[in-house]
């Protein structure tokens, strides 16, 4: 019995790292542009189909898809934001919502047209690999996915923190007018933020491909999941995304053990409601958000 | 009577005479439009006038649908009473969510996401609640031969059409009355700048709760009708996220913060949705409808981000006053309560990001973010 809970904890932590990568992308987009990307889960599913497609064509493990997912989704996100999305950054929230909801529907529609509505799973011998540590069985696919997600998050953080472009993103997020005044091309920066955010979602999708059966309508679940995580952790807070991802991952894993797998998101929604009521800005969002 | 009232009267009269020469199919389709318009009006009261963005209206809709259906089916309560109870239930849930959110200063996008969380929470609860049928759904019995539509509130396409037309007209009249009353002006003051409104003595907390409760109650009634007409209820189809999204699209496309926008939006969005669905079915391609619908949605919002009604209202000469230019309001940073949104003012630009683009963002950036 005890092992069951420890197993759930570990599984939750591992999947939580991948969730954190999804949420980091959403947070980056929101942090820089104050835009809520309603198509985020759809972008995750694009990554999943990339992972599945590459596995079908070449037999490579989905983790090898990461570079393709990063580049492909970055290009897509950058292009969309540059040509269409940027005009909406200054518009009211509900108008932005409709644009991104439209994008989400288009992506889901394209997926359904190309791949059909049936779930597609990756079956390979590698998915049964386990590591045995101190009597515990740790799923190898999950561990690799979590490690890859952590590396990507660390790289993104380092880039945001130390590169000049990363600093420009910070500047645009902190003070848009000031950023423009010192010559930062905010059009480019916004598109960059969307591209990076989409790339995070795509890479996370590639990592999730062996863990979930891919199907087009999974997308809204991921979108909502990402929302929950960023709100629990704090919108626009990058450490918050990590904390929120892990919390939600663990909460889901425990709910699956305690209640039943289909009710697993009940726990995360409960967590979300409690956090919103007690700390509306999220656990780590206090400094960035306004504290009123 | 003003030109607007005449226009509304002509419109309702035309719709009332329509069944004389229309097929049952057209009537059922229009009934769906009326339901969407009804929810749109309710949502618009909360978002367009009081400025509180809800993305979880499916919750009120679903609760209303289940309340009316279960009371009628299990306990033999006539939907006349059931609708009242549904209104109360929808309003009560909305009050709960609103009170939680507003009391703890959950604002803007955070409030919107709180409403999503509650709606999804509700859907999952209904899916695991055997009393309401769980994922298997809840069904109403087929109509008996002795059915009297005016008692059971269930009938053929024509009955449903008129029932919804009456409900919609009533809801529209109610929204006009509320929006043009002192409450409506205070709502708009809250919407445009809540802090300024409160400084002027507007009881923002209570008025926001009123908006939320009225909106939730009306939406529950729409849900009740939808359940009676459809005859079968599933958590995913009456409480799902997709429904919440469909609900907000119509008023936004029609023109948010206008009295006629939600109705216009429903007349645009619902047929588009149905048409693309039928096209996808005819072509046998799954997902084609989503693709078409999504592209059209993006096209509409790119071409007319203010919605269609302000544009049409100007063409028809239904605008009484020239709306003040958005830039002016943003610069002043004060709520101009007198800007009458009913006549096609562009709420879109009076709040939100516009202020963020002005120098105020440089100094008062924290306060800007909270209001978004």
Is residue A98, in this structure, part of any structural domain at all?
yes
CB A65 within 8 A of CB A204: no
Tell me: the pLDDT tens digits for B242-251?
899 889 888 9
pLDDT band, very low/low/confident/very high, at A265 (cuts 50, 70, 90):
confident
Q: Chain A closest CA to B3's CA: distance in Å?
A: 30
- What confidence score (pLDDT) does residue B347 get? 41
Q: ipTM of this predicted complex?
A: 0.84
Strongest mean pLDDT among A240-249, B215-224, B334-343:
B215-224
Q: How far is CA B209 from the centre of its chain?
A: 16
- What confidence score (pLDDT) does residue A285 get? 67
How many other C-beta atoms can be found within 10 angstroms of the C-beta atom of residue B104?
15
Chain A residue nearest residue B106, CA to CA: A280
Query: Residue A220 and residue B354: Cβ atoms within 8 Å?
Result: no
B106 in contact with A, Cβ within 8 Å: yes
As to burial, measured by CB atoms within 10 angstroms (0-12 exposed, 13-18 middle, 19+ buried), residue B199 is exposed
CA-CA distance, A189 to A171, in Å (whole number)? Answer: 10
pLDDT band, very low/low/confident/very high, at B135 (cuts 50, 70, 90):
confident
In this model, does residue A31 exceed pLDDT 90?
no
Query: Residue B362 and residue A93: Cβ atoms within 8 Å?
Result: no
CA-CA distance, B49 to B51, in Å (whole number)? Answer: 6
pLDDT band, very low/low/confident/very high, at A100 (cuts 50, 70, 90):
very high
Return the CATH number of the domain spanning residue range B24-371.
Answer: 1.10.3470
Is residue A202, in this structure, part of any structural domain at all?
yes
Is residue A109, in this structure, part of any structural domain at all?
yes
Mean pLDDT of A93-120: 89
Pairing between strand A136-139 and B138-139? unpaired
- Three-state DSSP at B83 gives helix
Residues 270-299, chain B: which have Cβ within 8 Å of A? 285-298
Which tokens hold the place of A81? 């934001």
Task: Return the exposure string of B204-215: e unless at least 16 CB atoms fall within 10 Å of the residue's CB, then b.
Answer: beebbbbbbbbb
Query: Residue A220 and residue B288: Cβ atoms within 8 Å?
Result: no
In this model, does residue B39 exceed pLDDT 60?
yes
- What confidence score (pLDDT) does residue A200 get? 95
Is residue A154, in this structure, part of any structural domain at all?
yes
Is residue A268, in this structure, part of any structural domain at all?
no
Residues 115-134, chain A: which have Cβ within 8 Å of B? 116-117
Which residues form the domain of A101? Answer: 2-216
Is residue A118, in this structure, part of any structural domain at all?
yes
Strand ranges for chain A from DSSP E: 130-133, 136-139
CA-CA distance, B81 to B63, in Å (whole number)? Answer: 15
Greater model confidence, B356 or A123: A123
pLDDT band, very low/low/confident/very high, at A288 (cuts 50, 70, 90):
very low
Nearest to A48 by CA among A230, A286, A263, A219: A219
Is residue A179, in this structure, part of any structural domain at all?
yes
Which tokens hold the place of B312? 């049409």
Residues 108-137, chain B: which have Cβ within 8 Å of A? 108-110, 112-114, 116-118, 120-121, 124-125, 127-128
Task: Give the number of domains in chain A.
Answer: 1
- Three-state DSSP at A222 gives helix
Pairing between strand B138-139 and B232-233? antiparallel
**A138 - beta bridge partners?**
A131
Mean pLDDT of B23-46: 91
- Backbone torsions φ then ψ of A124, nearest 5 degrees: -145, 160
CA-CA distance, A8 to A26, in Å (whole number)? Answer: 26
Contacts of B252 in chain A (CB under 8 A): 94-95, 97-98
pLDDT band, very low/low/confident/very high, at B10 (cuts 50, 70, 90):
confident
Is residue A11, in this structure, part of any structural domain at all?
yes
Mean predicted lDDT score pLDDT of chain B: 81
Greater model confidence, A95 or A201: A201
Q: Torsion angle of alpha carbons B330, B333, B339, B343, nearest 10°?
A: 30
In this model, does residue A95 exceed pLDDT 90?
no
């Amino acid at each position: 019995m005890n092992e069951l809970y420890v197993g759930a904890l570990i599984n939750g932590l591992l999947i939580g790292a991948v969730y954190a990568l999804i949420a980091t992308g959403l947070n980056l987009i929101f942090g820089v542009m104050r835009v809520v990307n309603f198509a985020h889960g759809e972008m995750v599913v694009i990554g999943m189909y990339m992972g599945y497609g590459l596995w079908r064509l070449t037999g490579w493990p989905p983790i090898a898809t990461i570079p393709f997912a990063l580049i492909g989704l970055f290009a897509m996100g950058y292009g969309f934001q540059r040509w269409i999305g940027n005009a909406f950054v200054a518009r009211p929230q509900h108008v932005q919502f409709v644009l991104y909801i439209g994008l989400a529907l288009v992506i889901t529609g394209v997926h359904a047209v190309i791949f059909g509505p049936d779930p597609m799973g990756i079956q390979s011998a590698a998915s049964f690999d386990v590591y045995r540590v101190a009597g515990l069985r740790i799923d190898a696919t999950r561990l690799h996915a979590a490690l890859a997600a952590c590396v990507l998050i660390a790289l993104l953080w380092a880039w945001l923190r130390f590169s000049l472009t990363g600093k420009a993103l910070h500047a645009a997020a902190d003070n848009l007018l000031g950023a423009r005044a010192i010559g930062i091309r905010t059009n480019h920066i916004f598109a960059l933020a969307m591209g990076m955010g989409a790339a995070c979602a795509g890479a996370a999708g590639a990592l999730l491909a062996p863990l979930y059966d891919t199907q087009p309508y999974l997308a809204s679940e991921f979108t909502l999941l990402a929302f929950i995580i960023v709100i629990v952790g704090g919108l626009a807070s990058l450490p918050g995304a990590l904390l929120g991802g892990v919390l939600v991952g663990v909460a889901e894993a425990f709910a699956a053990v305690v209640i039943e797998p289909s009710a697993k998101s009940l726990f995360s929604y409960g967590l979300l409601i409690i956090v919103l009521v007690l700390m509306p800005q999220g656990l780590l969002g206090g400094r960035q958000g306004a504290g009123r | 009577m003003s030109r607007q009232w005449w226009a509304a009267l002509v419109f309702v009269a035309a719709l009332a005479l329509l069944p004389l020469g229309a097929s049952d199919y057209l009537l059922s389709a229009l009934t769906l439009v009326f339901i969407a318009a009804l929810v749109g009006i309710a949502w618009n009261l909360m978002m367009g006038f009081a400025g509180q963005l809800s993305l979880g209206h499916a919750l009120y809709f679903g609760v209303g649908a289940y309340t009316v259906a279960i009371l009628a089916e299990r306990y033999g309560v006539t939907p006349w009473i059931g609708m009242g109870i549904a209104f109360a239930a929808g309003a009560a849930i909305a009050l709960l969510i609103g009170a939680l959110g507003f009391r703890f200063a959950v604002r803007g996008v955070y409030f919107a996401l709180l409403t999503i969380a509650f709606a999804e929470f509700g859907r999952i609860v209904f899916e695991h609640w055997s009393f309401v049928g769980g994922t298997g759904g809840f069904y109403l019995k087929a109509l008996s031969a002795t059915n009297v539509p005016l008692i059971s509130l269930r009938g053929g396409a024509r009955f449903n059409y008129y029932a919804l037309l009456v409900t919609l007209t009533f809801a529209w009249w109610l929204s006009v009355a509320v929006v043009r009353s002192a409450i409506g002006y205070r709502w708009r003051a809250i919407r445009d700048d809540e802090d300024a409104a409160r400084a002027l003595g507007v009881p923002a907390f209570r008025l926001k709760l009123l908006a939320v409760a009225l909106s939730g109650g009306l939406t529950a009634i729409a849900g009740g009708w939808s359940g009676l007409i459809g005859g079968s209820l599933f958590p995913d189809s009456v409480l799902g996220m997709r429904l919440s999204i469909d609900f907000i699209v119509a008023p936004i496309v029609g023109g948010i913060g206008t009295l006629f926008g939600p109705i216009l939006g429903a007349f645009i969005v619902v047929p588009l949705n149905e048409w693309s669905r039928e096209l996808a079915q005819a072509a046998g391609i799954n997902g084609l409808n989503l693709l078409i619908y999504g592209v059209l949605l993006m096209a509409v919002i790119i071409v007319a981000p203010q919605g269609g009604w302000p544009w049409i209202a100007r063409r028809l000469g239904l605008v009484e006053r020239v709306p003040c230019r958005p830039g002016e309001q943003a610069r002043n940073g004060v709520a101009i309560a007198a800007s009458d949104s009913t006549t096609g003012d562009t709420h879109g630009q009076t709040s939100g990001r516009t202020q963020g683009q002005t120098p105020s963002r440089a100094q008062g950036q924290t306060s800007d973010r909270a209001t978004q």
